[in-house]
Amino acid sequence: MANAMSKSEQVQIDDLEVTLIRSARRKRLSLEVGVKGVQARAPSRMRLGAIVAFVQSKRAWIDQHLANVPDIPSNPEFSDGVSIHYRGTPTLVILKPGSKAPVKSTSNGIEVPVSESHLPLEVSAKTKLIKWLKQQTRAELEVQVARFAERMRIPRSPHQSIRVRDYKRRWGSCDAHGSLSFNWRLILAPPEVLNYVVVHELAHCLEFNHSRRFWAIVEQEVPNRKEYQQWLNQYGITLYQL
């Protein structure tokens, strides 16, 4: 979760794609390898050439760590009766061939209508389901952002907006105008985890960095935030099964 004080860009170094995050507060260059790929954090004014040379000098270490990062699982077996996590609960997906009704959540599971199309049944059903899930994410985020923004006394700015995005490896972000972006897959996670990400990004409207003050603000609303961070670190990858 980046913040307004830092700038992030993708840099190609040999055959490595590196996320370079520059920040005025940073004094030294550091490297991190994880599910987000290779991240280099550097002081704002450090020359790109120096960063490239540093990354190259650490290549063996990077490769060793990359080899230990788990892959994002994909689920090609999308079909009638598949189980997905929806709001943290295993939920059945029920395909309804020939139906023109909208997608809906019932006590049996999520019903997805599928009509004749040039696409294979599973592909069009999956597309429809994801579109519906994104709508649910947006609706839930609008409720939670409004609720927590009021509790946390976040000043509302006219530029503020909520975006639901298809992020590869992040959960949310907050830009300098206080506009919030979130990963649509948060609707698959337990509601407390989604709320934690909302509070985290809203707290960036008050504190741009991850300082002690920042965490104090977060903990006022989510005292056990470490538990949810841990959840995201450990299980966040499973939200990419869809």
Q: Please give the residue ranges that form the binding site for Zn ion (CB under 5 A).
A: 1
- Closer CB to Zn ion, residue 103 or residue 222? 222
Which of left, alpha, beta for 81 (phi over 0: left; psi -120 to 50: alpha)? left
Smallest gap from residue 162 Cβ to Zn ion (A): 16
Q: Where are the alpha helices (DSSP H) in the chain?
A: 48-57, 59-66, 121-151, 191-203, 212-221, 225-235
Token pair, residue 1, equals 């979760």
- Closer CB to Zn ion, residue 1 or residue 16? 1
- Closer CB to Zn ion, residue 199 or residue 239? 199
- Of 204, 165, 209, the C-alpha closest to 21 is 209
Which of left, alpha, beta for 14 (phi over 0: left; psi -120 to 50: alpha)? left
Smallest gap from residue 63 Cβ to Zn ion (A): 28
Closest residue to Zn ion, Cβ-based? Answer: 1
- Closer CB to Zn ion, residue 19 or residue 124? 19
Smallest gap from residue 103 Cβ to Zn ion (A): 32
Smallest gap from residue 173 Cβ to Zn ion (A): 8
Smallest gap from residue 62 Cβ to Zn ion (A): 24
- Closer CB to Zn ion, residue 87 or residue 170? 170
Residues ≥6 apart with Cβ < 8 Å to 57: none
Residue 22 identity = R
Token pair, residue 208, equals 């741009």
